[in-house]
Amino acid sequence: MRLLKNIFVFLLLSQLLGSCKEEILNLKSLTAPDNATFFSNEQELQLALTGVYRSILILDGGYGLPIGISFDNGMTDIGISRTASTLEDVATGIQSSSTAAVQAWYSTFYKGITQANNLLVNMDKVNSKINETVFNQIKAQALFIRAYHYHNLIELYGDVPYIDFVATSPEEALLPRMQKQLIVVKLLADLQIAADALPNKWADAEKGRVTKGSALALRARIALYNKNYTEAAASAKAVMDIASSAGYNLDPNYGQLFQDAGLSSPEIMLCFRLKDGFLTNLMPRAQGSRNCNGSTVNAPTQSLIDSYEAVDGLPIDKSLVYSPKKPFENRDPRLKASIITPGSQWAGIIFQSHPDSLKVRFINGTIKGANSDSRIVSWPGAFCGYVWKKYTSESAQVLNQMWSELPFIIIRYAEPLLVYAEAKIELNQIDATVLNAINQVRARAYGVSVTNTAKYPAITTTDQSQLRIVIRRERLVEFANEGFRLFDIRRYKIAEKVMPVKVYGQILNPQAATKIPKIDNDGFVSYAGIESQYDLNTDARFPNAQNRKFQSPRDYLLPIPQREIDTYKGYGVVLTQNPGY
Amino acid sequence: MKKFRKWWALDKYALKKSLTIMKWTSLFFFLGIIQALAVNESYAQRTRLELNFSQVNLEQVLNEIEHQSEFYFLYNQDLINTERKVDIQAKSSKIDEVLQQLFAGTDIRFTIIDRQIVLTNSADQTSLVMQIAQQQTHKASGKVTDSTGGVLPGVTVAVKGTTIGTITDANGNYSLSSIPANATLQFSFVGMKMQEIAIKGKTMINVTLVEDAIGLEEIVAIGYGTQKKVNLTGSVSSVKGDNLVLTGTQTSQVLQGVAAGLTAIQSSGQPGQDGAQLFIRGRGSIGASNSPLILIDGVQGDINLIAVNDIASVSVIKDAASASIYGARAANGVILVTTKRAKSGEMTVNFNSDFGWQKMNDLPQFLGALDYMKYSGSTQQQIDTYAAGIKSDPDLFPDTDWVGQFFTESGFQQRYTIGVQAGTEKLKTLASLAYSDQSGNVVHFNAKRYTGRINTDFKFSKIFDIKFDLNFSQSNSVEPSPTVGGQYYPEEISSGESLVATFGQIVRIPPVYQSRYSDGSWGDGFSGRNPIAMVNDGGENKKQTNYFVGILKADLKPLKGLNLSLTYSPTYSDVLYKQFVNNVPLISDWGKKIIRYMPGRNYFTESNPRYFSQNFNFVVSYAQTMDKHDFNALVGYESILNQSSSFQASRFDYILPQYQELNAGSQATAQNSGSATHNGLMSFFGRLNYSYKNKYLLEFDLRNDASSRFAPGNRSAYFPGVSLGWRMSEEPFIKNLSFISNLKLRASWGKLGNQEIGSNFPYTSLMNLGGARNYMYGTSIATGASMDDLANSKIQWETTESTDIGLDLGFFNQRLNCEFDVYSRKTYNMLLKLPIPLVVGLNASMQNAGSMQNRGFDLALSWKDKVGDFSYSAQFIVSKVKNELLDLANIGPIISGNSYSNVGLPYGLIYGYQSIGIFQDATAISAAPTQFGNLVPGNIQYKDQPTIDSDNDGKLDKGDGKINSNDRVTIGNPFPELSYALNLSANYKNFDLTIAMDGVGNRDVLLQGDAVLPLYSGGKIQEWHVNEFWSPTNTSANFPKITATSSGHNDAQPSSTWVFNASYFKVRNIALGYTLKNLALKDVFNNLRIYLYAQNVCTVENLPKGIDPMIPNGSSGNMYPIPSVYGFGINLNF
């Protein structure tokens, strides 16, 4: 009996403690649904769509900067970046197919495209279960975001592989590069589908979604960049036509548009919104004054300062009201709205970047302390002498707070106006609507109505080549530090002229300054012969700010990442490189 | 109470006695009345009873007396009526008073013999019972010595077949009373042959124990069982727990240098983070884990969470055949830890305590402010002004000793362990408690650990027993919050700077920056980075780990040789992290007293990951001997289910920073997140051992594992192993050679798997939710979903195949021992994250591709002997492993930062420029290929490697005239190929001494940044830089000129200049002990040993001053250095 009792207890234990195969091996994720069974109702499509939207929030590198800011400061003539990221490699011409940023961008855009593709290819599974309008709107938003990523890809790299499905194995994705113009055709078609399905505007709680106007504006931009001026003009015109019903309007205060007050501006058509606790940008740190705990890693160049017109509507080398002794007076108001210039007030201090200004003062004139914007006090200080005001939150600077919730604008109403004007100029279909489009933007810079031509320098010429100079300068100053300049200097083919130059800083002794740089028809500011008037930035640690170089035509495109070429090669497939790399 | 009719046994008395002793134990610990054990008054005289009964059965009263005391009754139930109703009132009465009252007026007579009370009602009966009782009261005593005549304390003396026993005292004496006169005594002692001696009425029995042929009879733990060491066919190193010396506070540290082929690397001295990383026979995997499987009493666990004193033995299973019984978890070898269990016999108590002080012995030395200014370009006038200022106004002219202000604490550590064990044949228990408390040499560093264990053995019957073990521990560690200032915004804080970065700041901030002003306020440090302020006032990062393991093991032996064994083990652990980051006010301008807070906001975060795993196995084994054939077979089933979940919550902006809980922060900033996951493994396994004449040995192992981590079709795989042994020393031609005591040849082959791929669902595409997939519509945050990973439905095990040939040799009656193994270990279907086209737009998943090989040998040599009172032993172990990548699926080379891996080479070589000297003048610079930036004399010159094929013969033969990334070559191997250890021990009379030393050879490290470069990114200058760097007067220097550098500077490029030989030889532990014998309190203590110890005593190495050879490859100086420890301790046995 004892034996049986022992065996019984033993067996009982084994029954109590053992478990079956289902519990051990057939396990499912506890946190995420399986892609294969997802996309079964509208809620799931919306979840996926939100994930697709997130892909447009692209913050670059260690300073968490919107990509457009990185483009303008890292790779163009209007800004300079000394971040540890590798974008400045492009400015100094030492980028290669192994440069980290070259791979990072390529990868980032395809990640966004894949999220959109995953929604687009799977959503048909529930087509019949969902209201047709809602279904088409979801599809339209995904198409827009995919087009936005392709737009960045083709402008940066030229021909790229075009993928509109989700690869289930590496082999399926070994696609050859497709000609940029063929991709453009697809993007324009997709954006037309999107525009047709999308509403003019969304309810307040849905703001942040793509509208019909945004789809048309991106369509106009892509067409313009790719010299399809007819489509560019037509789409831009379509935006202008729905402006009043969609509520688009230029913000009367250009400067405020890029500060906290601008968040609800009617000019913003699409921006990515940030919030403490969700996501913030670090522009107060990256761009801010060193006296406010910023690091001033991105800064405007002297050449940008000199590109703003004088108030008489003329470039400074032709203006009668510009004086190098008072270089910031009588200038297009957008200069001071976009840039903190020496002697101006900012966040409670008087900003001063002159190397000899060892103390910084409060706005009441009392000394605050050592002046960290002076490179003698805190190298390299505000190294060209200027700090970006645009997108640097002043309220954050007052708090010595290095993060901000300022949204980064992807599309604002000034863009379709200038796209319309430029496309019509290129088509040589110059009429009053063209001048009106340009002058609306110029009048707003002065805070006046377009008809009040006495208060701002309106454009009156109808000469195509004159207008071409005007529209290019207008884009340069209107959109400085918004990510437009890189693609503009490429499509105007002026990068080879504006990039391989020394980067100078402010006039160190305005009292003695007499010389004015020459500005040519491409907007290129030449300091030939008058260099000594400017801060030459000859410090050994940053000679002439950067040894900028540009190798034409190679540098008009980024190289295809070496890793991608090598990966293809590992699978026995050849992926071509851009010329010169 | 014994109601005897014919026979009675001793069981009950023994059990009762042990229970009583356990009561005494509590008293003993908590009241400290040690003397209580040493009283001599007779038991009957000193025992008092409290009884109050009326009209109850006599039996009930007798029961109560037995219950209150150690008395027990002997009587014949047929003659004594125990159902008689009695009345009894006794208050603090002696036993004879009680009994007189109880039996007044009856014919019952009582006789008290010590604790026995004999009840009779006739003279005959009395005589009979007395006879039986007298047998019990036989006494025996004597002395136990070893073959040299030395006394042997601690020898177990037990009455055979019973649980009665004792152990010898410090003089080797024992004495037993109340034992049967015809008993047989068993004398046993570790390392000695057990002896049995029949008393045959004698009272004085002296015994000489002879040494066992050392190790030959040793039993070692193997997978799901044990085996005699002589019968092992695989490569298994075994260490007894008593031989493990712990002078640190992490149990993993004791495994340093104990077994050939086992590498334990401690690379940090930070309290709580100073555990060693373990590897067996090198690195077998690139993409998956390289950690061996650690099983504690058969259950996967964390070795740092058990106390060293609880370890009975450690087996290190190195070959694949022995490990293949563990299949898919064993690719990196297996470490089996067996904990101590109670023995039957008298209770023993063991108490250890030690105290130590940690000290940083080898810290980098930096120039003071004035010398720093001199070498960083200041003029003599500026230096003179500064020198005057240091004296007159040190607030404005600081000369900060950052290192000295950082290491301010004594680094006191203390440990206590107490273990108690006792048992009878039916029930045995061992219980232990350990506590350790280790402070750092830096303020706010502390680690405390409480560990408890109860191992219990129940024997229900001869065929059925149950083991029930509990192990629990709580670890509490505190460190300053891992920020060093300079962070202002939430994103950077949450990405976090690791704490070692704090030390990184200490070794970089120049002395001319202020850490603390004369009024006690904090200086601004290096642009707001003030690590001294942050470790003092920046908040604390607290971590509490709770760990609980229960093991229930039932064994049923229904037939001879057949054993059914069932084990269920739940393991629960959770970690509670609480981190408060304080915003510290720094004075950024001393003149204006302007304050800035670093970081800008304070915040608190709390997280709580929890893990639960359940292990169930059922093993049937059968052993049979037929003539000269020995069979041993085992089959089993096992299932393991791991579940984990966690949550995290945080808030910012604590107005009252002293209240560091979630509620006190700003609600508007509240954030939280959470997750959960699980995985399972289901397995069948078997083993067959066969030996013929105990000479020819064969073992076959097979395991089938199925893992939830793989798709259904790929879930399971077989892992076989086979091994052979030939005990040549049993052959007559060797047996006649008396100097050879053991000679065995072994060979094994086996296949193992690795499933540690870091993902539980790699085969399926998930739509991940929330977090970095969210987006804002309007003013609210919407939840998003995205598919992030390219699933690999074909993913499978990584497989390791290894072959081992070994030789065991013993000479001179096992005084000289040698174990030697050569092996080849090949890993294929390696789990690698191969690049996939970026166009896929998803993260690459693990793929099975490529293969790698480790080949090497392990050698362990030991000698032990005894000359008179002097006994000593020496053990030397050495192992060498050579790694080679055999295949990388055509995607090589893999270049990642400064690491290079390619087919035909070891994995992860250091990659950089080859330095060919220092430029001495401008002519040399202009003649050389272009390098990085504008060069001046004193900069490093790099070799222009051939990158052009000038004659089209397919070989690169010509440089391209410029130094760029194409000129990088492999310049070192950071993985040590050679490791060795030497362990010495000696005993002379009462003294004992142990010395443990170890080292590694053939290891290189690339050091960067502040670790080796002067003035790096605004950093400071080390003293050795002054003499060893180039200058116009020191042109033969190996290092470049002292100049400001930053990443990208010519001299800061990764190059052979900065590759150092990190081989070392370290005296790790020295302990000197003295055992007190002939104590005045010898009735109380069996043994008292006091000892002095030192850890990390000295190191022979080749690195610049202040750099520990354990520094990780690629380091910029960010590590918590490993301190030396000096201390003393005591061991007490009762």
Q: CB-based contact (8 Å) between B341 and chain A?
A: no
Query: Which chain A residues have a beta carbon less than 8 Å from that of B677?
Result: 29-31
Instruction: Please state the rounded mean pLDDT for residues A414-431.
Output: 98
Residues 795-854 of B with CB under 8 A from A: 834-842
What is the predicted pLDDT for the residue at B739? Answer: 87
Query: Between the CA atoms of A256, A262, A267 and A271, what dihedral angle is there, to the nearest 10 degrees?
Result: 130
Query: Structure pTM?
Result: 0.79
Task: Suggest the residue from A1, A3, A6 to mutate for an interface test with chain B (most B CBs closer than 10 A).
Answer: A6
**Cβ pair A282:B489 closer than 8 A:** yes
Q: Which residues of B touch A362 (CB under 8 A)?
A: none
Mutation target to probe the B interface, by most B beta carbons within 10 A, among A3, A10, A575 is A10
Strand-pair category, B1039-1041 with B1029-1030: parallel
Min distance A77 CA to chain B CA atoms (Å)? 23
What tokens does B213 get? 């042929």
Q: Who among A50, A96, A203 is closest to B775 (CB)?
A: A50
Residues of B in contact with A47 (CB under 8 A): 767, 769, 783-785
Quote the pLDDT of residue B22: 35
- Residue B42: predicted pLDDT: 67
* Nearest CB to B787 within list A103, A118, A206: A118
Note whether B838 contacts A207, CB cutoff 8 Å.
no
Residue B222 has pLDDT above 70, yes or no: yes
Which band of pLDDT confidence, cut at 50, 70 and 90, is reported for residue B50? confident
The interface predicted TM-score (ipTM) is 0.93
How are the residues of chain B apportioned to helix, strand and coil, as percentages rounded to the nearest 5? 15, 45, 35
Cα-based distances in Å from A487 to A476, A478, A495, B831, B872: 11, 15, 10, 42, 81
Q: Name which of B449, B429, B422, B413 is nearest B302 in CA terms.
A: B449
Distance to chain A for B758, nearest Cα, Å: 14
B964 vs B474: which has the higher pLDDT: B474
Residue B645, pLDDT > 70, answer yes
* Interface contact flag, B592 A106, Cβ < 8 Å: no
From the list B91, B213, B257, B253, the residue with the least C-alpha distance to B985 is B257
When mean pLDDT is compared across A283-287, A293-297, B146-150, B523-527, the lowest value belongs to B146-150
Instruction: Give me the pLDDT at residue A108, please.
Output: 95
Chain A interface includes B715 (CB < 8 A)? yes
Q: Is B773 on the interface with A (CB under 8 A)?
A: yes
Nearest to A126 by CA among A33, A45, A191, A217: A45
Substitution target in A21, A29, A287 with the highest count of B β-carbons within 10 Å is A29
Residue A82 has pLDDT above 80, yes or no: no
Instruction: State yes or no: pLDDT of B483 exceeds 70.
Output: no
Compute the distance between CA of residue B748 and CA of residue B280 in angstroms, rounded to an integer.
17
Q: Which residues of B touch A166 (CB under 8 A)?
A: 787
Residues of A in contact with B773 (CB under 8 A): 50-51, 54
Size of interface A-B (CB pairs under 8 A): 273
Per-residue pLDDT band at A166 (split at 50, 70, 90): very high
Q: Tokens 């994103």 appear where?
A: B491
Query: CB–CB of B677 and A31 under 8 A?
Result: yes
Query: Burial of A166 by CB count in 10 Å (0-12 exposed, 13-18 middle, 19+ buried)?
Result: buried
Under the banding of pLDDT at 50, 70 and 90, the label for residue A62 is: low
B667 touches chain A (CB under 8 A): no
String of DSSP letters for A176-215? PEEPHHHHHHHHHHHHHHHHHHS-S---GGGBTB--HHHH
Which pLDDT does position B993 carry in this prediction? 93
| Most B-contacting residue of A14, A25, A96, A362 (CB-CB within 10 A), to test interface | A25
Task: Please report, for chain A, the start and end positions of each structural domain, with discontinuous segments joined by +.
Answer: 2-63+101-272
| Residue B771 near chain A (CB below 8 Å) | no
Average pLDDT over residues B241-256: 75
* CB pair distance less than 8 Å for B776 and A13: no
How many CA within 13 A on the CB side of residue B692? 5
Q: Which residue has the tokens 């688009």?
A: A248
Q: Omega of the bond prior to B490 within 30 degrees of 0, cis?
A: no
Average pLDDT score over chain B: 85
Res. B84: pLDDT tops 60: yes
Q: What average pLDDT does this structure show over B478-483?
A: 78
Q: Residue B840 is nearest to which of A103, A173, A282, comparing CB atoms?
A: A173
Cα–Cα nearest to A191, from A143, A235, A227, A149 = A143
Query: Which tokens in the block code for residue B708?
Result: 């939830």
Q: Do A13 and B639 touch (CB under 8 A)?
A: no
pLDDT at B124 over 70: no
Higher pLDDT, B213 or A429: A429
The per-residue DSSP string of B816-831 comes to EEEEEEEEEEEEES-E
Q: Which of B840, B903, B1049, B1050 to mutate to test the interface with A (most CBs of A within 10 A)?
A: B840
pLDDT digit string, tens, across residues B656-715: 999 999 999 999 888 888 999 999 999 999 999 999 988 999 999 999 999 999 998 889
- The residue-averaged pLDDT of A430-440 equals 97
Q: Considering only CB atoms, which chain A residues are within 8 Å of B614?
A: 19
Residues on chain B touching A152 (C-beta within 8 angstroms)? none
Return the closest-CA partner of residue B433 out of B554, B342, B310, B535.
B310
**Nearest CB to B835 within list A106, A277, A567:** A567
Question: How high is the pLDDT of residue B491?
Answer: 38
List chain B residues with CB under 8 Å of A574: none
* pLDDT at B805 > cutoff 80: yes
pLDDT recorded at residue B783: 95
Q: Identify the weakest region by mean pLDDT among B56-65, B281-290, B547-556, B728-737.
A: B281-290
Question: Do the beta carbons of residue B710 and residue B847 sit within 8 Å?
Answer: no
Whether residue A219 contacts residue A189, with contact meaning beta carbons closer than 8 Å, is answered with no
Q: What average pLDDT does the structure give for chain A?
A: 91
Subunit contact B778:A206, Cβ cutoff 8 A? yes
- Which has the minimum average pLDDT: A56-70, A503-517, B485-499, B605-619? B485-499
Q: Which chain B residues have a beta carbon less than 8 Å from that of A38?
A: 767, 785
The predicted structure's pLDDT at residue B217: 66
Distance CA A227, CA B529 (A): 52
Residue of A nearest to B459 (CA): A6
The pLDDT confidence band at residue B493, using thresholds 50, 70 and 90, is: very low
- Which tops the pLDDT comparison, B745 or A3? B745
| Cβ of residue B1017 closer than 8 Å to a chain A Cβ | no
Q: Which residues of B touch A210 (CB under 8 A)?
A: none
How far out from the chain centre does Cα B441 lie? 22
**B145 CA: distance to closest CA in chain A (Å):** 43
Instruction: Establish if B867 touches chain A: CB-CB under 8 angstroms.
Output: no
Per CATH, domain A2-63+101-272 is 3.50.50.60: no
For B790, the closest chain A residue by CA position comes to A168
pLDDT computed for residue B1081 by the predictor: 59
**Tokens 């100079």 correspond to what residue?**
A469
Q: E strands along B693-835, which residues?
A: 696-707, 716-727, 740-754, 767-769, 775-777, 780-782, 785-787, 798-811, 816-828, 831-832
Quick check: B781 and A275 CB within 8 A?
A: yes
Closest A-chain CA to B668: A277
Lowest mean pLDDT among A273-277, A501-505, B76-80, B615-619: B76-80
For residue B320, which of B802, B674, B709, B669 has the smallest C-alpha distance?
B802
Judging contacts by C-beta atoms under 8 Å, the chain B residues touching residue A174 are 837, 839
A172 pLDDT above the threshold of 90: yes
The answer to whether residue B647 scores a pLDDT higher than 90 is yes
pLDDT at A543 > cutoff 70: no
Closest CB to B463 among A3, A49, A293? A3
Bond prior to A553 in cis (omega within 30° of 0): yes
Q: Which amino acid is at B181?
A: A
Among A106-110, B351-355, B828-832, B900-904, the range with the most confident prediction by mean pLDDT is A106-110
pLDDT tens profile A461-501 = 999 999 999 999 999 999 999 999 999 999 999 999 999 99
pLDDT at B220: 85
> Of A51, A103, A170, which is closest to B773 when you measure between CB atoms?
A51
Tell me the per-residue pLDDT of B818-838, one tens digit each, with 9 for 90 and over.
999 999 999 999 888 888 999
Grade residue B1083 by pLDDT with cuts at 50, 70 and 90. low
> Which residue among A21, A64, A167 sits closest to B491, beta carbon to beta carbon?
A64
* 8 Å CB contact of B768 and A13: no
Q: Is B622 on the interface with A (CB under 8 A)?
A: no
Q: Please indicate whether, in this complex, the C-beta atoms of B840 and A167 are within 8 angstroms of each other.
A: yes
Predicted local confidence at residue B588, as pLDDT: 76
Res A8: pLDDT = 76
Report whether pLDDT(B1082) > 70.
Answer: no
